A and B are shown apart, each in its own frame.
Chain A
């Protein structure tokens, strides 16, 4: 069923595609305030030689440097991101007191909102409130973009892996609860 979440997630997917087209890890996101996109971003880690330039950080910096909003704005924002936020981004979002997060597919290697850690809900992190995080919106598309990316070779890696024998898989396992 088509919901408002699908509409915004499609925007995030377009940004992920843009990242892919620029040889970046295909993750994209949009921040939505009162049904309006106020900032968007996609991964730029290769371009910037900076492993922390994830889509979320790109969008957050865009919003804060626009001069239109203060950091309090995130308390009223919803984030749509194609892949579950990593541990770093999960705690960044908690510090910003994000209202809600919707994502496409889980991030089993780095995910901080349910996969590796539960940074979004961990009760011992008392400085900032917990937030809700829900996955599964355009999950298959998000996964396929990542797979397409990871069968390419990363020339920036110190020792690039040879991957010419890899085949793109298309079957997708059902979501874990």
Chain B
């Protein structure tokens, strides 16, 4: 039974696609004749990688027993006449009578696809363990609290005459807030000062100062036992950097690798790609952006095959609250 979550997973095209089929030759066979037929198919029929996800034999059970149907090869790889000639050459024409059948074209990625597509013809299914989208109750509570904070930031933005989009970045390993920011396009008169870019810039400057500090006084830091909190103020927003000296060696950060972002509105294409460049871990957003959204609406940049970093995206988190504020961007 699937967990009911207060947000939705934004599927990639591969995960959300519906059934597409490809034509193949199949033939009913008797159980005691399958062995020579399978040997023949393996040795003489075209073998195609595109059919790796499809099972070679289908078993259909009925009251008194079962029938077996074998898959020979795809219609694309050989003409019907050629196939008949091939079968005749190997003296199998009495037991192998090809007909055309449809099988699913692509491997199933989600269980929903698998359950739907296997009805047509049996298929293999490997459930990627990293795709598991289970959250503990504590995690769900945290996630909602972070989005509440992002909403507060969007209200702050609105009060300051900015476009009301708020966002926060956290490290899910220790629940430390790394940066809180909002859109500052109006006050800066810079059309690119979106909430996410501001957030990434904050995290980068603390990472940078962290780096410098580290190279300057590695020795001293190691001897300190007290947690110290550095707050960087700049005109737009602020960022916290908490240093836990007890696990100093775990503090090696690379851009925003492994961090979570909570943002009231779906990031635009520019910000979505900025998150790829920053190696973000996960993104949670509330309201979809149908005119320029890059994580589900116009593009699915988080799951695009040719890009070098992929991440999970969840939408509609506390969307009713964001919509109730009638924040229109």
B131 interface hit (Cβ, 8 Å): no
For A112, list chain B residues within 8 Å (CB). 269, 273
Let me know if A71 and B191 touch, CB within 8 A: yes
Q: What 1/0 flags go to B300-328 for Cβ under 8 Å of A? A: 01001011100000000000000000000
Evaluate whether A87 and B279 lie within 8 angstroms (CB atoms) in the complex, with A96-B191, A116-B306, A127-B292 already known: no
For A124, list chain B residues within 8 Å (CB). 298
Alpha-carbon distance between A158 and B250 when the two chains are bound, in angstroms = 12
Let me know if A50 and B201 touch, CB within 8 A: yes
User: What number of B residues sit within 8 Å (CB to CB) of A?
Assistant: 39
B299 interface hit (Cβ, 8 Å): yes
- Interface of A (DSSP majority class): loop
Let me know if A157 and B254 touch, CB within 8 A: yes
Let me know if B308 and A49 touch, CB within 8 A: no
Alpha-carbon distance between A67 and B311 when the two chains are bound, in angstroms = 38
Which residue of B has the minimal Cβ distance to A52?
B274
For A86, list chain B residues within 8 Å (CB). 273, 277
For B192, list chain A residues within 8 Å (CB). 57, 60, 92, 95-96
Of B192, B306, B307, the most chain A CB neighbours within 10 A belong to B192
Q: Which of B200, B276, B298 contacts A125 (CB 8 A)?
A: B298
Query: Which chain B residues in 265-311 approach chain A with CB under 8 Å?
Result: 268-274, 276-279, 291-292, 294, 298-299, 301, 304, 306-308
Q: Which of B15-23, B24-32, B38-46, B204-212 contacts A (4 or more CB under 8 A)?
A: B204-212
User: What number of A residues sit within 8 Å (CB to CB) of B?
Assistant: 36
Which residue of B has the minimal Cβ distance to A110?
B307
Let me know if B273 and A95 touch, CB within 8 A: no
Of B269, B278, B308, the most chain A CB neighbours within 10 A belong to B269
Q: What 1/0 flags go to B97-134 for Cβ under 8 Å of A? A: 00000000000000000000000000000000000000
A70 interface hit (Cβ, 8 Å): yes
Let me know if B273 and A88 touch, CB within 8 A: yes
Let me know if A158 and B273 touch, CB within 8 A: no
Of A57, A88, A96, A125, the most chain B CB neighbours within 10 A belong to A88
Alpha-carbon distance between A49 and B191 when the two chains are bound, in angstroms = 23
A149 interface hit (Cβ, 8 Å): no
Q: Which of A49, A52, A57, A87 contacts B301 (CB 8 A)?
A: A87
A72 to chain B, nearest CB (A): 10
For B308, list chain A residues within 8 Å (CB). 109
Evaluate whether A50 and B200 lie within 8 angstroms (CB atoms) in the complex, with A88-B274, A95-B192 already known: yes
Listed by A's residue number, 6 A-B pairs whose Cβ atoms lie within 8 Å are: A49-B211, A50-B204, A50-B278, A51-B200, A52-B274, A92-B270
Residues of A whose CB lies within 8 Å of any CB of B are 45, 48-53, 57, 60-61, 64, 70-71, 86-92, 95-96, 109-110, 112, 116-117, 119, 122, 124-127, 156-158
Which 5 residue pairs spanning A and B have beta carbons closest together?
A50-B204, A88-B273, A51-B277, A87-B273, A91-B270
